[in-house]
């Protein structure tokens, strides 16, 4: 979430990524809108990572979907 702070030194924006941007030009008329020019790139806060599953639990649904698999045949002469 971006926060806006107006003060005697102008307007500042705090992005979710912790970056502070200053409004350089306000109320600039564009072809289909009015924009404010800022001096930094704001981004949302990073999303929380998905919980990790143990390898066996993650592989079980994949193995069930694949069904039984044939065993690999050894190379001729019993060598691999």
pTM: predicted TM-score of the whole model, two decimal places: 0.52
pLDDT for 21-67, tens place per residue? 999 999 999 999 999 999 999 888 888 877 766 665 666 666 666 66
Residue with tokens 């390898």: 55
1 pLDDT band, cuts 50/70/90, is low
H helix or E strand, kind and range, residue 57: helix 55-66
Which residues partner with 5 through β-bridges? 12
């Amino acid at each position: 979430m971006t926060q806006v702070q107006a003060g005697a030194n102008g307007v500042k924006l705090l992005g979710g990524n912790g970056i502070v941007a200053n409004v350089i030009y306000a109320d600039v008329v564009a072809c289909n809108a009015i924009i404010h020019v800022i001096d930094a790139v704001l981004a949302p806060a990073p999303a929380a990572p998905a919980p990790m599953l143990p390898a066996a639990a993650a592989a079980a649904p994949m193995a069930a979907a694949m069904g039984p698999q044939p065993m690999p045949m050894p190379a001729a002469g019993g060598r691999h």
